[in-house]
Amino acid sequence: MFEVITDKMSQAIRAMRGLNKISEANVADALVRVKTALLASDVHYKVVKEFIANVQAKCLGQKVVVGATPGQQLIHGIHSELVALLGGESPNFFALKPLRILMVGLHGSGKTTTTIKLAAMLQKKGYHPAVIACDVYRPAAIDQLEQLAQQASLPFYGDREEKRAVSIASSGLAWAKEHSADAILWDTAGRLQIDDVLIQELKDMRSAIQPQEILLVADSALGQEAVNVAKHFHEALTLTGIVLTKLDGDARGGAAVSMKSVTQVPIRFMGTGEKISDLEIFHADRMAQRILGMGDVISLVEKAQEVVDQQEAERLAEKMKHATFTLDDFLQQMRKIQNMGSVSSLLQHLPGMNSMSSEDADKRFKRVGAVVSSMTLKERRHPDIIHGQRRVRIAKGSGTTLADVNSLLKQFHYMKQMMKKMKNTHGRKELQQMMAQMGGGMTGDSLHF
Ligand SMILES: Nc1nc2c(ncn2[C@@H]2O[C@H](COP(=O)(O)OP(=O)(O)OP(=O)(O)O)[C@@H](O)[C@H]2O)c(=O)[nH]1
Ligand SMILES: [Mg+2]
């Protein structure tokens, strides 16, 4: 996802890490790379200009905070500016009931697919959705929506005799109300480009159905053009949100970054594949982290969830409650992480670790395994007894150094402390947090075996 912007921005960010002073000259210097990265990713030039000016103003006026290096502080400034650019925190989309949603967008942007994806998501959130086919132009458009609705077991309304989209929109509304739907989605026709006829039709539909949400579905590969498309649709219809589609493709990421800032319309969802489940809620902060290569601990947790089964989760949660989680369990978790696939791909999700080569990562994980394996059963269950001579023996036995052993124990101790704080939460949630903390705990000094 967004490889160009991610690669270039993370390169720019890496170069900043070592910065030991914030002065006008070296901030400007560092920001030249950021600027180039954004422009190369198709971010609109006006957006780039404003972004750089904001970061500069923010960073230069700031004193260096104790505990942070100037480089880190600059990165932090860029991150928060990027979050703001991507839209910050949006209000909860799922707060209203009933909810009427009009889906609009250019031809082939993914309206029909997204209508179904979103309806399916609403169903998961406890709504009773229904979808209404209002594309009367493209042959087979109605069939496409009907088939997808069937696949997702969603109520569907269409009228193949009626040629006026507005009439279908209205009769669909009445039908959906009769069927007690509390989230109604209208799929509409696309055009190759915005034209007056399309806009008038959408305006008429808007008057007829009074939607609370008008979502623009936009292909993220549109690049610079995305900004104009969003602007036009917004001027004509007053959009309430944007859905970016095809993020799984080779989009550079510029569209995402520019659209919100030019229109002030929040990005609400992102399509990440062709399957009905491939729709995610858009989070500006997670996307900013991803783009900057700072990793996304949350996706790591989600990935981890797929591997750790429910039973195991409950067993571990129980252990955590009593803080009897041992080094044995720790080792098992490490192995699970390894089994989740390439360690390096997982590490990309951890802050500060994405620059580590897969070789490095695998070596480090192996080292952890070796250290724990060199402990006796008793030591693994009661790590508190591992003092002086035992540490030396373990280091020798595992072919590591005393510092490696100390570091691992420190990290484990940190995890246990985190667990104690989590006594009140439950099962799977606890495990999620633990996995996230594991990520966080490994990123500090203690990681450097
Ligand atoms: N890979 C990928 N493909 C997608 C995504 N969203 C939609 N598509 C595909 O894009 C193509 C067009 O999607 P549609 O939903 O038919 O687009 P539309 O806007 O309704 O198109 P028209 O009705 O012709 O205007 C289909 O092949 C979809 O499977 C996505 O997030 N990722
Ligand atoms: Mg369609």
Q: List pocket residues of ligand 1, CB cut-off 6 Å.
A: 105, 107-113, 135, 138, 141, 190, 245-246, 248-249, 271-274, 278
pLDDT at 440: 37
Give 436's pLDDT tier (boundaries 50, 70, 90).
very low
Give 80's pLDDT tier (boundaries 50, 70, 90).
confident
DSSP string, 30-67: HHHHHHHHHHHTT--HHHHHHHHHHHHHHHHTPPPPTT
Measured in angstroms, how far is the CA atom of residue 105 from the centroid of ligand 2? 9
Measured in angstroms, how far is the CA atom of residue 141 from the centroid of ligand 1? 12
Measured in angstroms, how far is the CA atom of residue 415 from the centroid of ligand 2? 50
pLDDT in tens, 384-430: 888 889 999 999 998 989 998 998 888 777 766 666 655 544 444 55
pLDDT at 222: 80
pLDDT at 388: 86
Dihedral sign from CA coordinates of 331, 412, 394, 347: positive
pTM of structure: 0.67
Domain 93-292: CATH class, spelled out: alpha beta
CATH level 3 topology of 297-447: 434 Repressor (Amino-terminal Domain) (1.10.260)
Give 64's pLDDT tier (boundaries 50, 70, 90).
low
Give 218's pLDDT tier (boundaries 50, 70, 90).
very high
83: three-class secondary structure by DSSP: helix
The strand pair at 241-245 and 213-219 is best described as parallel
Measured in angstroms, how far is the CA atom of residue 108 from the centroid of ligand 1? 5
Q: Which ligand has the nearest atom to the CA of 247?
A: 1
pLDDT at 5: 77
Domain parsing of the chain, residue ranges:
3-86, 93-292, 297-447
User: Which of 115, 274, 276, 278 has most ligand 1 atoms within 8 Å of its beta carbon, as the pocket-test mutant?
Assistant: 274
Q: Alpha helix (H) ranges present in 103-253?
A: 111-124, 141-151, 165-178, 196-209, 225-237
Average pLDDT over residues 307-335: 64
pLDDT at 328: 76
CATH of domain 3-86: 1.20.120.140
Angle between helices 70-86 and 254-263 (to 10 degrees): 70
pLDDT in tens, 84-124: 888 877 788 998 899 999 999 999 999 999 999 999 999 99
Average pLDDT over residues 40-57: 87
How far apart are alpha carbons 40 and 5 in whole angstroms? Answer: 8
236: three-class secondary structure by DSSP: helix
Average pLDDT over residues 195-206: 92
